[in-house]
């Protein structure tokens, strides 16, 4: 393990431990050429949202949430393609992240529950997968105020 400095979109230069780097063999949809990301948690350890930052391209970054924060029984089946990309073997620890879209009006922010980023914590690999389950691609995360 060693410390490296990376440039980030929202937090200028950040020092990370190289064992935080996750390999995305297929990138994410629309950004297939970016294969390494780190998960930054500026709000505190294990506190969402987190920032999924490309290691090699400072401009590429996604704000992500744990889908379970909004949908406690969220569960999707790993597709065979996802398992291959993750180098998945039985017993590996899998986590899911949902990418956030934040319009100018912050309160209309949505997360994509249909296409989670799947992280294999045991292998430090990740892939974005289109779930077979019927989850919305735009799930509002801030409940509308009544007034």
Contact between residue 110 and residue 54 where contact means Cβ atoms under 8 Å apart: no
Among 107, 121, 133, 140, binds another protein (CB under 8 A): 107
C-alpha span between 96 and 144 (Å, rounded): 25
Distances (CA, A) of 47 to 17, 53, 65, 66, 132: 19, 16, 9, 9, 28
Q: Strands (DSSP E) along the chain, which ranges?
A: 3-7, 13-17, 22-23, 36-40, 50-54, 61-65, 94-101, 110-111, 117-120, 125-128, 139-140
Binding region for another protein (CB under 8 A) out of 18-26, 75-83, 95-103, 119-127: 95-103
Q: Is position 140 an interface residue for another protein (rule: CB under 8 A)?
A: no
Q: Which stretch binds another protein (CB under 8 A): 18-26, 60-68, 81-89, 118-126?
A: 60-68
Question: Scanning residues 24 to 53, which ones bind another protein (CB under 8 A)?
Answer: 28-31, 42-43, 48-49
Stretch that binds another protein, among 18-26, 71-79, 82-90, 133-141 (CB under 8 A): 133-141
Residues that bind another protein (CB under 8 A): 9-10, 28-31, 42-43, 48-49, 59-63, 99-102, 106-107, 109, 112, 114-115, 128, 130, 137-138, 141-143, 145
């Amino acid at each position: 393990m060693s410390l490296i400095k990376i440039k980030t979109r929202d937090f200028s230069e950040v020092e990370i431990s190289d064992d935080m780097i996750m390999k995305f063999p297929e990138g994410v949809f629309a950004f297939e050429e970016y294969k390494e990301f780190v998960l930054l948690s500026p709000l505190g350890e294990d506190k969402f949202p987190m920032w999924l930052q490309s290691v090699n391209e400072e401009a590429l970054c996604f704000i992500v949430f744990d889908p379970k924060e909004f949908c406690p029984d969220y569960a999707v089946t790993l597709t065979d393609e996802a398992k291959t990309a993750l180098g998945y073997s039985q017993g590996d620890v899998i986590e899911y992240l949902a990418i956030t879209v934040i319009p100018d009006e912050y309160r209309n922010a949505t997360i994509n529950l249909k296409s989670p980023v799947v992280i294999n914590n045991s292998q430090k690999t990740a892939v974005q997968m289109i779930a077979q389950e019927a989850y919305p691609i735009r799930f509002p995360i801030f409940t509308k105020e009544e007034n």
